[in-house]
Structure 1
Amino acid sequence: MALSDRSFARAPASILRLCFRRLPFGVGASEGRDRERYARAARSVGCNAVSAALGFAVVVLSVSFTLPYLGQERFGIWMTISSLAVMLQVLDLGVANGLVNLVADAKAADDDDAVQTIVTRGVLLLTVIGLAVGGVLICAVMLIDFQRVLKIGSAEVAREAVFSTLTFIALFCVNIPLGGVRKVFFGLQRAWEPHTVAAIGYFCSLPLLYLCARSHAPMPYLVLCTYGVQVASALILLVRLHRERIFSLCRRIWAGPGWRDSTVLMKTGSIFFILQIGMICGSACDPLIVSNVLGVKEVARLAVAQRLFQAIAVTIGMLSVPLWGLYADARSRGEKVFIRNTLKLSMCVTTGTALLMSMTILALSSWLMKVWTGDQLDVPFELRCAVAVSAVVEATGNSFAIFLNGVNELRPQLLTVLVFCLISIPLKIYLLKKFGTVDWAIWATIIASVVADYAVYIGLFRRRILAHVV
């Protein structure tokens, strides 16, 4: 179906647009573009707020509904499988993220043919990658002994874990090209559209999740009614690109010029690929490290603690991610004033918001845990404190990373991620074995993140980064 631009959260956007009227704009020709960029950001934030609220509701209710009947072991397995969505996103080889800047550059040049060529070839390339990844992952699952790796006590539960993982893999491979479709809208500075579609998916997941809990559905059904619905809803975006002739399989896509863009896309994508690998090794693989060192039951505590503070990450993403396309557009036009003012605003707002939310959630965490999980699971206060601090550090780092992505400064991030991984992985294993409590996995991440960011960005690349804003 066709979805018009005006149909996307006009009311929230009009309210938030008022908040941007007093922002510092450029002068002359750039002033109008600055206002339009902030208006687009306001619309994206408004739609993302709705999506984030529904997504957080799914996260909260998924624990309340399923933990009582799944039990700690099966719930920990489901959380481990759910974490694979973050861990395996790297398998798109960074092509989806590479699309953002290429699309933004072509859009800034008002070259509609180039936009169509880049988008179509990018999505098709991601489709091929998705098929290849699916074959490799299915073979890997067949070779892994789940019962031994995850320390599962029952062979029946291990079989359920295998089937759930295969279900996830099928959905994940379909989501690889759809992830590229979502990123296209960021490059077009229309980030509100993926957020709106995500909100539709979350809204549909809520009743399905309730029905699964009422019927004590096996884990594969839980995967389908959460992650599966999100994947299916993204098809709306592909249809929209096709209706606007941004995605088209016409013959000139193959015969026309522009294969250089595909080469640039692969080079840029390879850098994003390495960045994603590093972040996964450094932080997203925590459930696997914890389950291997302390057992899968500790993953349940870690997952619940992280989801308790997940509203912070969702809020920060809501505020900062739409700026990626705006930074890229301003970089293409050489408008440093906009980049500088937006970076200052973004860093102050995201850090302040994360700090306030983290302190509030931590202060209310005992009551929230009692209401949320009852007596089903004990999450130590030390673990909650660690996750609270981690949320603030992560928020600041993510806001700055969006700026670096937008101005196409990827190489400094490569060195930062390398330093981060070299510190965090051995530190996590050492601290978990030495102290035997899951909160040390979080503290290791915090230590590694702070050391890597300050050592690389401030110590080595300070002048290079400042050149984009001065």
Structure 2
Amino acid sequence: MVKNNFLKYLNKGDSRTVRAKKNIILSFFLKGISILISLQIVPITIHYVNPTRYGVWLTLSSLVSWFSFFDIGLTHGFRNRFAESKALGDVEGAKIYVSTTYVALFIVFVIFISLILILNTFLNWSDLLNIDQGYSEELNHVFFIVAFCFGVNIVASVFTTMLVADQRPAIASFIQVMGQFVSFVTIYVLTKLTVGNLSSLALTFSGIPVLILVISSIVLYKTQYKIYAPQLKFVRFSYLKNILGLGGQFFFIITSMLFIFQLMNIIISRVQGPEVVTQYNLAYRFFNVLLMVVVIVLNPFWSAFTEAYAKRDYNWMRSVRKKLELLGVLSIPLLGIMILTSSFFYEIWLGSLIEIPFGLTVSVAVYILFQIFGNIYMYMINGTGKVRIQLIVYIVFAIISYPIMTFMCEKWGVMGILVLPTLVYIIQGVVGCMQLNRLINNRAIGIWNK
């Protein structure tokens, strides 16, 4: 009976809702595996390279990860345009968007790697991160390895973006989990056979997932997604205007978000030291489990909103909005439970490796709470492509973020630095709620409709 009721619930609703529910459930299962792997991999990695080197690794990899978003917004613009073409039955248009995006991002990759080679010649990472000069040469090698892998990922990620645009994020999650699992096995073997080395760590965590993604793309383009497989004869650079019109706004939004959020590791490392970077990231990783659950639910609804908005299905959009807002409300008591049990969890997870202050735990939990509410509205609005207000909010905060967060970190440590990004998500949530209300009631005019 339980099985029958579950299947009845799973298949209840229109095709868009059923597809979303199936992907959410499968994604939950895969994300559970991903969380278990990520929890196990942290203490193993810290043992492998020690807490200080791990903090350096977190700082450097977060800095390099900025570059993975420097695709001029092409993947985000592509996601909406592909979903729109598919919703309207334009198979050839969808294939043109796939082929054109791959070629455009390959050109970006070549330019990106050329700049990295030049930049890496002049950078002194020890001075930049305020750490011992003995790390400098090693970090130059690590920087190039990670940057190269992120560059390849810029191109390869077109495939996972297409999967998400096709409202099948579970397949993209499976590919990610496979890369994560192989990385976990590799780092475990390295701890048994080699001495801690940041270059090996970089190859393991950056190179292996990209390799798995490339192999998966080739296999699925030859089978299930053969109809959309990229071909040079379908490249139309004139289509870039449609992608970049929306994608350009996403580019500036994401770039601004990077300045606000990813800059935190750099500031913490310079002001408080790499060990504190480790403390913050471990606390964030603990509460990020709940955020990942929320994102699993939100992910298929981005492209579902693209389809619904293209077909003017406002009733469905209003219904889904209420359910997703309830998801945000339910996260409040769950975060409270996580705060109360955090010390117990840290003890089991990390033992005596790292001590995380309770004040930092509470601050990160509050930050995650408003990040959840901000994302709920951001995902739905992103599906409609009306992102001009987001653009303004994030650019304004990006301009003022560095001096304010540096001052707050010097005064009140990590808890101080979290004030500004938390405020950003509060504003995102409030403004996003107002804009979404106008969009789904077909009353958006002016900047609310751009």
Q: Give the TM-score, by structure 2 length.
A: 0.90
| Alignment match, 1:372 | 349
Alignment of 1:41 with 2:23, yes or no, is: no
Answer yes or no: is the 8 Å Cα contact 1:54–1:199 preserved in 2: yes
Aligned residues: 438
Deviations 1:113-135 (A, max 9, x none): 11111111111111111121122
State the AA in 2 paired with 1:431.
M
**Partner residue, 1:270:** 248
Question: 1: CA distance between counterparts of 2:348 and 2:132?
Answer: 29
- Counterpart residue number, 2:325: 347
Kept in 1, the 8 Å contact 2:26–2:170? The answer is yes
Shift of 1:209: 2.1
Q: How far did 1:154 drift?
A: 4.3
Residues 123-134 of structure 1 mapped to structure 2, 5 A cutoff: 123-134=102-113
SS at match of 2:50: helix
2:395 is matched with 418
**Whole-angstrom CA distance in 1 between matches of 2:28 and 2:253:** 27
Shift of 1:410: 1.2
**Structure 1 residues 242 and 85: CA distance shift in structure 2, 3 A:** farther
Which residues of structure 2 form unaligned runs of 5+?
445-450
Structure 1 residue 367, shift from structure 2 partner: 1.3
Q: 2:420 aligns with which of 430, 444, 462?
A: 444
Given candidates 221, 236, 251, the residue that maps to 1:241 is 221
TM-score (structure 1 length as normaliser): 0.87
Residues 357 and 123 (structure 1), Cα distance of their counterparts in 2 relative to 1, 3 Å cut? farther
Cα deviation for residue 453 of structure 1 reads 4.4
How much has 1:84 moved relative to structure 2?
Answer: 3.4
Residue aligned with 2:70, SS: helix
1:288 equivalent in structure 2: 266
Counterparts of 1:15 and 1:323, CA distance in 2: 24
* 1:100-154 deviation line (CA, Å, top 9, x unaligned): 1111111112111111111111111111111211221232222111111111124
State how far apart, in whole Å, the 2-side matches of 1:392 and 1:468 are: 29
* Uncovered stretches (5+) of structure 1, i.e. residues with no partner: 1-12, 26-34
CA contact (8 A) 2:49 2:196 kept: no
Structure-1 residue corresponding to 2:131: 152
Residues 1:362 and 1:177: Cα distance change in structure 2 (over 3 Å)? same
Do the aligned residues in 2 keep the contact of 1:324 with 1:402 (CA within 8 Å)? yes
Once residues 47 and 94 of structure 2 are traced to their aligned partners in structure 1, the CA distance between those partners, rounded to angstroms, is 50
2:113·2:148 contact (CA, 8 Å) conserved in 1?
Answer: yes
Question: Residues of 2 paired with 1:17 and 1:63: CA distance?
Answer: 37
Measure the CA separation in 2 of the matches of 1:245 and 1:307: 39
* 2:11 and 2:18 in contact (8 A); partners too: no
Determine the C-alpha separation between the residues in 1 that align with 2:64 and 2:126: 21
Cα pair distance change 1:311/1:469, threshold 3 Å: farther
Q: Look up the match of 2:303.
A: 325
What amino acid is the match of 1:227? S
Aligned-residue offset at 1:444: 2.5
Give the match for residue 160 of structure 2. Answer: 182
Q: Tell me, in whole angstroms, the C-alpha distance in 1 between the residues paired with 2:152 and 2:6.
A: 34
- Equivalent position amino acid for 2:184 in 1: L
Is contact 1:20-1:38 (8 Å) kept? no
1:303 and 1:433 mapped to 2: Cα distance?
18
For residue 169 of structure 2, what is the amino acid of its counterpart?
A
Give the CA RMSD over aligned residues.
2.4
Shift, 1:242, TM fit: 4.5
1:83-107 CA-to-partner distances (Å, cap 9, x unmatched) read 2364223211110011111111111
- Measured after TM superposition, the shift of residue 259 of structure 1 is 4.7
Q: Distance in 2 between matches of 1:147 and 1:369?
A: 30
1:15 Cα deviation (Å)?
A: 8.8
Inter-partner Cα distance in structure 1 for 2:139 and 2:359? 30
